[in-house]
Structure 1
Amino acid sequence: MEYKLYSHPNTLLKDHLHLVTKIGMARFLQNNIFMEYEGLMRVILAFHDLGKASSYFQGYLLRSEPRSKLTRHSEFSSIWAYLYCSEVLQYDDFECLAAKICVGSHHKDLANMDDTLIADLENEDLKQINEAVDYPEINRILHDLGLQTELSAALFSSFFELPPAHKVSRRMRKVKRSLSLKHWLVLNYLFSILIWADKYAAIFEQKPAELEGNIWQTQYLDTFVNKLPAKDNVIGRIRSHAYQELGQSLDVATSLYSVNLPTGAGKTISSLKVAIELRQLRPELQRIIYCLPFTAIIDQNQKVFENILQTSGIDPKPEYILAHHHLAEPAFKKADEYSIKNGDEYSEDEAIYLVETWDSELIVTTFVQAMASFLSVKNSSLKRFHRLANSIFILDEVQNIPHYYWYFLKGVLKELSEQLNCVIILVTATLPMILDASDGMKELATRKDEWFGALNRISLDTSNFGHGLKNTIELEDLSKAILTDIEEDDTLNRLIILNTIQSSLDLYELLKDSGEVPESRLLYISSNVIPLQRLQMIRQIKENPGQGLIIVSTQVVEAGVDIDVNVVYRDLAPLDSIIQASGRCNRNDSKQQSTVKIFRLAKDGKAYWSYIYDKTLVHNTLAILQEYPTLIPESQIAELTEKYYHRLNEVTSKDTSRCLLNWLTNLDLSKALNYHPKETPGAFHLIDERPMQVVFIEYDERARELAEEYLGYLNDDTSDPFERRGKLKDVLRRMGPYMINVQRKLLKTEDPIFRVGNSEMQLYYDLKTGFKREDKQEDYIF
């Protein structure tokens, strides 16, 4: 008997459901997680598109008949999944509701359970769709999938006459009394495999290839490290010992680890080695997910990891190492139409999909992308949630996560490690109290006290240029103090880190106008400058030690940016930011003891830190610093940090975290995870949304070509919309090095991307300091 129902143009519904079920179940069985839900997983995969069997949907798909309520398929499919689980398989309340939620939401985002289970279609609409479904073909498809049942219009109609105990609303009220965080993870997991398999089948129309085993081996890191210049100094010896010793404390029973090392001690490579050694100890672990706080340092780390493979003669293919952030280009090789048809390479959609679903052995990504993979309701993010199963999750510089979320993350990370069999490794120079030994966390740097105590690269000077931290200074005072220091020794490279872009621009102008600093030695780095220029300046700093460079910057240089200067000046900030700034000073222990000068900058009596930092963090920093002399040696910084985090833990309210955990437990997912400043202000979010405008700067000929390519795709009405969208996403990523974000109040435009062409550069963009700001105001972007 011939099959005639279609799921997509040129794809039979039979073939699509078979492929989705095959792909999804293969991943489910391979992961070996939540195996008690194997039957439920199969139903969700097999039933997710049953609503496409109606004549209404077929007419829309094959004969271009108008879309209407009756062409919609997800809700109808979800009712069948619910009915089958409830009346045929007699699953428990949670499983029946999970089936309905996953299938009903597979083309949209998750939401509060109560809202998700409310019908979008009227009963009369559902009854009309039911009468138009080809049940004989549906039953043949399900029989082929091993589901021996007979669906019928009469059985579907029974949904409207279910006994009270079987009704969705009754079950929902009942199940809410017994939910836990595990139920949230189960729902995410089943939903993730469904939407991943569904999209994969639609894009590739074949079963995915599995990873080629574990390519990453410790011997590749050994080869790379052995070729690095040896440093016979304190930090060099710490780096060597840490690299050799961290993995010695691993064991099969522990899933929560910390690596607490000083800045400059090589924690990036050492942590990667730990992860590889952990996979040797626990072969079921699959992927390594390396998370960093800022986009700026992802590409830097990716290049290090690629160099490790290249040093051993291995091509760093995206299957082995992949960077994922909003500016990253799709690493999977794209090809012409001939190559795509022959299966040699990937189309635009395919390449982007493989990046967004972390189809690689080692993924380097941001906290925002990493957290979105599990602390989100977005369909686009949750399609990679299942990748967390059997993974090693490295969170580098974890102290950048707001302190009022620490208790929340403690609960979530512990549950992830227990339920998804993933290993969490927190890596930092200033270990915050998110997890500790009482949670089962194990410190791998067992000699950390010895290592921190041996350091003498820098000292913290908290004298505020003689004014004391109880008092503030103005920009003019700061400028004069820096010029005085330069006069004493003009060969030292000096880095000044301020808290707002506007204050950094004002200081740059004061130093330039003084006439005492040659403009060739005065550099400016902040997010006011396009990323391409920032990288060029960082390279210039690294290649010109001892040239008397004066670098005015913001926090953009703090975490992970590998520069090494003689003196750092830092406006008052939370202690972890101060220590990160200190990591740019005498980083490699190649100079005489250097100084990090802390000051308290203000304008008209208002401190600049108050525009961007939580007052709890800064007040506790001030309290701790004032317990010590005004010159604090590096050997005391670990002690200082421990006191700071203990105090912070005592004063931080856990109310926000408890509320989030309660919402997650009750599956109130929009309240917990779908942040909106007015509708859901209490939801988890790492970035405060402010009205921002994307600005594209035509800095060079390459930028002009990219702008023309973007406009060409934007104005192309003839191409396939999916292909056009993929090409737009690709070119936008390549435009990233030329893009900055500015507050909307500084630029009045309706364009989603404001293009500054070469002829407008003088009006909008300064080649030294970036975007030109007409109004003098404090800007909160780093």
Structure 2
Amino acid sequence: MLMRMCFSALVDSDFLDTERYFDYGKSIKRRGKAFSIQQLDEQLQNYMLKLRMESQDKEINRYRNEVYMACREAAKQPLFFRALVVPTGLGKTLASIAFALEHAKRFNKKRVIVALPLVNIIDQTARQYQKVFGKASVLEQHSQLSYTDDKGESMERARLAAENWDSFPIIVTTTVELFESLFSNRTSKVRKLHRLANSVIILDEFQKLPIHVLAPIFQALHILMEHFNVTVVLCSATPLSFKNAELVGNMGTPVEICKNHDQLFASMKRVEYTRIEKPLTVSELVARMREHPAALCILNTRKDAFQVYREAISQKVNGQKLYHLSNRMCPDHRKKVIEQIKEDLKKEKPILVITTTVVEAGVDLDFPTVFRAMAPIDSIVQAAGRSNREGKLDKGKVFIFELIGGGMPGGMYRKGTEQTRILLNHHGTVALHEPWIFEKYFRSLYTLGGDDLLDSYGITSLKPFSFEKASRLFQMIDQNTVSILCKNYQDEDGQIERLIRMYKEAPYLTKEWYREAQLFAVNEYVDSSFFRENQNQLEKISEGWYIWHGDYDMKTGIMDMDEGGD
């Protein structure tokens, strides 16, 4: 790690010196107008004060304030490994940044790095932080963000800062970007690593970290904490148990910020779980959903979601709007649909949303009723977080069901679902409100996984150590995917047409081209039947990139159910 840090500092200095010599104007643009950690903390305190003055004296707001103050108090202690585990809807996003800024002030930290597992959550989190701190202090970096949308000085500075994470005190990024950079041997990735020193790293929804590389991830974090003045905060709305040493590798047990988190979970029973005992046909499921004016239904596969959506169209009820969401819709499309769903919910319109797990973590939808196909226990609880989120109802309703003929992802997802089914059979749905059920669940899951569960590629035992081999082996996503640019998606500004023209005419494609193209692309597994059977509609652009010349449905994306996509 020390060699990586030295190499990172050297590479970045070399880039910056060369830039300063050849393009001094560009070098000047890197200098931003970000506030200091002290100033940012003052802004946050003023924002929270205003929020409290404007908010109603409801129970949920009292709990939010309790979590926020606990974060403030905990940050004063010189403990560098913490956990913030509180129920959905208690202001975890602002409470965790309050901890980070208070802690940074006291223990000489230079920046806060917030890493999240899903891009759609990042967009939401970054916007919330930018609302509080301003765009000059918050850098949002992920594969689906284009820095060409705005030609202004601030966007140019953001583009430059994304290269080395300098000049911004708050970075919001993906766990993929963070950890693949930590294990990469590419100069463009490694360049920002030394900015991790003297930082606070917030891992939000950390339970979503892929199990097969958990050991190397936590070994790297352990070294950062021990030797580089890094504080790590694990955040989750799933009441995980830290008694299982396997969960956090050799890092030890994190000290929990909210000591009374069991009491918080007991007090925040905002939903009532009901398990539908008899497996349902697609038609029966839709009929049940139609009994509720506004409902969200989360399925395990894209195929299931599409079939339920298609059945819902055939059973259409006057006045109830129908939405579909899956990752066969490009990010630009999904984002617009989610915004429309939020608008309809705010106006209390009757709607039915049928989706895959893309809305399960971090998307702040608030439905009175949620239907969830049987899944791993943490996924069920995350789905329940989309019901009665603001506590407007006495109890939201969450129905857990089995779909006849329904699909199921393999690997740990399938094993987790099997364990959940066993636990629910034995303890009933009332146990989903109890933290002890999660300790039982994860203990069972890790026991099933085998010795190499947490380090499937053997990275922690590489002898002799090889940077090149570690870089090649470390894959957050353990299945090979390609990006498919949706040519016939109806974007508003002709961006796709311009991107394709650039691909045809430009001598080479830039990083910015790929970054912008991600907004209009879907990811697909190379071993999927969709990819194998639609080669005649796919034009290869470069390694891992294709153009989809087939149809794009403005309701469902490129879903082609004749091929039975999984």
**CA offsets per residue over residues 88-111 of structure 1, 9 Å max, x none?**
xxxxxxxxxxxxxxxxxxxxxxxx
| Post-superposition offset of 1:384 | 1.2
Identify which of 224, 227, 231 aligns with 2:47: 224
Where do residues 751-762 of structure 1 align in structure 2 (5 Å cutoff)?
A: 751-752=540-541
Larger relative contact order (C-alpha < 8 A, sep ≥ 6)?
A: 2
Identify which of 214, 222, 228 aligns with 2:37: 214
Identify which of 492, 496, 503 aligns with 2:297: 496
Unpaired runs of at least 5, structure 1: 1-184, 310-314, 336-344, 676-682
Partner of 1:527: 327
**CA offsets per residue over residues 565-615 of structure 1, 9 Å max, x none?**
011111121111111111101111111312211122242xxx512447533
Q: Secondary structure at the match of 1:304?
A: helix
| Residue pair 2:113, 2:199 contacting (<8 A) in 1 also | yes
Partner of 2:146: 329
| Post-superposition offset of 1:374 | 0.8
* Matching of residue 738 in structure 1 with residue 520 in structure 2: yes
Identify which of 189, 210, 213 aligns with 1:405: 213
What is the rounded CA distance, in whole Å, between the counterparts of 1:246 and 1:600 in structure 2?
A: 40
| Post-superposition offset of 1:731 | 4.6
What is the rounded CA distance, in whole Å, between the counterparts of 2:90 and 2:308 in structure 1?
A: 32
Change (3 A) 1:709 1:412: closer
| Post-superposition offset of 1:308 | 0.6
Partner of 1:198: 14
| Residue pair 1:568, 1:582 contacting (<8 A) in 2 also | yes
TM-score (norm 1): 0.64
Partner of 2:415: 616
Partner of 2:527: none
Where do residues 205-604 of structure 1 align in structure 2 (5 Å cutoff)?
A: 205=21, 213-214=36-37, 216-228=39-51, 229-283=54-108, 285-309=109-133, 315-317=134-136, 320-330=137-147, 352-359=159-166, 360-430=168-238, 431=240, 433=242, 434-435=247-248, 439-462=252-275, 465-467=276-278, 472-483=279-290, 486=291, 490-491=292-293, 493-515=294-316, 517-518=317-318, 521-545=321-345, 546-603=348-405
* Matching of residue 652 in structure 1 with residue 449 in structure 2: yes
| Residue pair 1:456, 1:633 contacting (<8 A) in 2 also | no
Q: Secondary structure at the match of 1:560?
A: coil
| Post-superposition offset of 1:373 | 2.1
**CA offsets per residue over residues 281-330 of structure 1, 9 Å max, x none?**
112x1110001110111111111111112xxxxx521xx11001012133
| Post-superposition offset of 1:750 | 2.5
What is the rounded CA distance, in whole Å, between the counterparts of 2:488 and 2:37 in structure 1?
A: 42
Amino acid paired to 1:322? L
Change (3 A) 1:523 1:216: farther
Change (3 A) 1:405 1:624: farther
| Post-superposition offset of 1:380 | 2.2
What is the rounded CA distance, in whole Å, between the counterparts of 1:428 and 1:302 in structure 2?
A: 18
Change (3 A) 1:554 1:421: same
Q: Secondary structure at the match of 1:354?
A: helix
Change (3 A) 1:687 1:324: farther
Amino acid paired to 1:628? H
What is the rounded CA distance, in whole Å, between the counterparts of 2:465 and 2:250 in structure 1?
A: 30
Amino acid paired to 1:730? E
Unpaired runs of at least 5, structure 2: 525-529
Identify which of 558, 561, 566 aligns with 1:771: 558
What is the rounded CA distance, in whole Å, between the counterparts of 2:540 and 2:202 in structure 1?
A: 38
| Residue pair 1:192, 1:386 contacting (<8 A) in 2 also | yes
**CA offsets per residue over residues 115-146 of structure 1, 9 Å max, x none?**
xxxxxxxxxxxxxxxxxxxxxxxxxxxxxxxx
What is the rounded CA distance, in whole Å, between the counterparts of 2:251 and 2:503 in structure 1?
A: 55
Change (3 A) 1:526 1:332: closer
What is the rounded CA distance, in whole Å, between the counterparts of 2:155 and 2:46 in structure 1?
A: 36
| Post-superposition offset of 1:692 | 4.8
What is the rounded CA distance, in whole Å, between the counterparts of 2:450 and 2:88 in structure 1?
A: 30
| Residue pair 1:224, 1:308 contacting (<8 A) in 2 also | yes
| Residue pair 1:693, 1:744 contacting (<8 A) in 2 also | no
Change (3 A) 1:274 1:654: farther
**CA offsets per residue over residues 670-697 of structure 1, 9 Å max, x none?**
443313xxxxxxx443352135533244
Change (3 A) 1:544 1:417: same
| Residue pair 2:144, 2:516 contacting (<8 A) in 1 also | yes
What is the rounded CA distance, in whole Å, between the counterparts of 1:357 and 1:333 in structure 2?
A: 20
| Residue pair 2:206, 2:236 contacting (<8 A) in 1 also | yes
What is the rounded CA distance, in whole Å, between the counterparts of 2:500 and 2:45 in structure 1?
A: 43
Amino acid paired to 1:573? A
What is the rounded CA distance, in whole Å, between the counterparts of 2:320 and 2:520 in structure 1?
A: 23
Q: Secondary structure at the match of 2:19?
A: helix
Change (3 A) 1:693 1:537: closer
What is the rounded CA distance, in whole Å, between the counterparts of 1:597 and 1:398 in structure 2?
A: 25
Structural RMSD (CA): 3.0
Partner of 1:667: 465
* Matching of residue 729 in structure 1 with residue 527 in structure 2: no
Structure number, greater radius of gyration:
1
Amino acid paired to 1:203? E
What is the rounded CA distance, in whole Å, between the counterparts of 2:286 and 2:151 in structure 1?
A: 51
TM-score (norm 2): 0.86
What is the rounded CA distance, in whole Å, between the counterparts of 1:709 and 1:738 in structure 2?
A: 10
Change (3 A) 1:397 1:599: same
Q: Secondary structure at the match of 1:626?
A: helix
| Post-superposition offset of 1:236 | 2.2
Change (3 A) 1:610 1:293: closer
| Post-superposition offset of 1:531 | 2.5
Q: Secondary structure at the match of 2:563?
A: coil
| Residue pair 2:88, 2:237 contacting (<8 A) in 1 also | yes
* Matching of residue 689 in structure 1 with residue 506 in structure 2: no
Compare 517-526 and 648-657 and name the one that shifted more: 648-657
| Residue pair 2:181, 2:193 contacting (<8 A) in 1 also | yes
| Post-superposition offset of 1:419 | 1.6
Identity of matched residues, %:
25
What is the rounded CA distance, in whole Å, between the counterparts of 1:368 and 1:305 in structure 2?
A: 21
What is the rounded CA distance, in whole Å, between the counterparts of 2:140 and 2:223 in structure 1?
A: 26
Compare 351-360 and 435-444 and name the one that shifted more: 435-444
Compare 325-334 and 239-248 and name the one that shifted more: 325-334
Change (3 A) 1:323 1:354: same
What is the rounded CA distance, in whole Å, between the counterparts of 1:706 and 1:382 in structure 2?
A: 31
Matched residues, number: 538
Q: Secondary structure at the match of 1:289?
A: strand
Compare 618-627 and 239-248 and name the one that shifted more: 618-627
**CA offsets per residue over residues 311-359 of structure 1, 9 Å max, x none?**
xxxx521xx1100101213389857xxxxxxxxx5997x8644213212
| Residue pair 1:457, 1:592 contacting (<8 A) in 2 also | yes
Change (3 A) 1:296 1:456: same
Change (3 A) 1:623 1:709: closer
